[in-house]
Structure 1
């Protein structure tokens, strides 16, 4: 099979028939062997019924329905697990990603041998204040932090080699950072392609300030995981030892002056009246806690089991 097109969605019943027709037209024109995997992430409208109807008309249409809304990362994880194509394309279901871009992305994977190609919506039709400017700030921070030089991490239109999606773990809200996850897994040839961004035709945007804030928090998480995810003791342990030694030296300083009475009247001052005593005590407590955090992190890494991240209600053609 040449292509797997993985499409996570939430309440997009109006756009699905048009999106499927558009994808079908592109697939026929280029004679691709393909499958389209729709993942219904807990829609409350008739999206799943629409997917079922499309699957009856086109055997290449497959569907996964979650019991409730688990998030885009979980939806992509479920789609990646089922994808069988040599090249996997991800796109949003709101018609803002153009299926006409698929052949170009496909060629970059198969002919130019990229591991992953990310779309870049250079010209956008979103609100400048609510999405455009925050997106640019977010992308700048992601480039600086991750070392992956992409202009648009948030673009849902991406292409992957099959081996890439089978060797990365997309969890939490990490779908924005799949290129970073791929780089950390050892897939270094990551490209970018300018793609058409279209104005939303149906429904409402799912973007809000909470997603913007969560994006930056996830960026910190992935930075930490990429450097210390397999060895948390190297970070927490190092800071813990440093803080403990700082407290220990301060305590030694207090004891030294108290015992040897280097200053007149110092011997009459209670140790607990010295502000340095509390600084030393706090540093030692924090140091011990940081060290224990690193130690517990190491234990958790070695004993954790894979947990169930979502529940599937039903599937179509899978």
Structure 2
């Protein structure tokens, strides 16, 4: 059993089933295929998501905060507040100020208030670590979290592997320059403009989408697996219809990575009855979008590439 499949089983059996049953009907828990918990207030609904990242020169604090923002926006929520905890190996005030300034500047750009922060000195991490909890108010009404059924369309919005490509350029630029020009890599370095989700989720809900999934660490194939797990359905996916940048393909060829399994922050999957309508509406709004497959009965997750069928694995 590979470690990814073991992680899914461990999360379902050891973590999710170990949690106490919910005592409140106005609270839902996050889980596989659902990126945030929800709190229903007297006059609105509140969603919460949390992430932990290591604060290094690659800008992972920025990308991880953007991921929390994207998860909420795709669910039809407007992020409005966040709290943070910074954990450091030693009391380095200069480094702490730099991290907090980056976090504060990003929050301002996202129109999110930093409402509470804490710091801790800990030897657990070799480099500074930041935990961010973000809160969002419900703004889009739709059938989100309705049951995913067989014979529904799967629409992908955005290009897969954008953040993964960006991080590889930052990590291995000197190596990449032995094959590619500075100008070519500069195009990939501008991928950071594609990381933020805007109103794609609102458009999807207006077109009848019942499920939205942010494509994150495990790439589009990981997101598809979790979609199938969340709906307890099978999949038939056309690999050739998955949107991807040529720079992502070529850089991953150089680094030996699978471009469909690297971080896809900024892209999303939607499940809807009419994928053609949704992809057209997204395209009209200026977003790359395509129908990449359908849900099926059973549990087979099939990828079709150049007429050949293979099975998706975790």
TM-score, with structure 2 as normaliser = 0.26
Name the structure with the higher helix share: 1
Name the structure with the higher strand share: 2
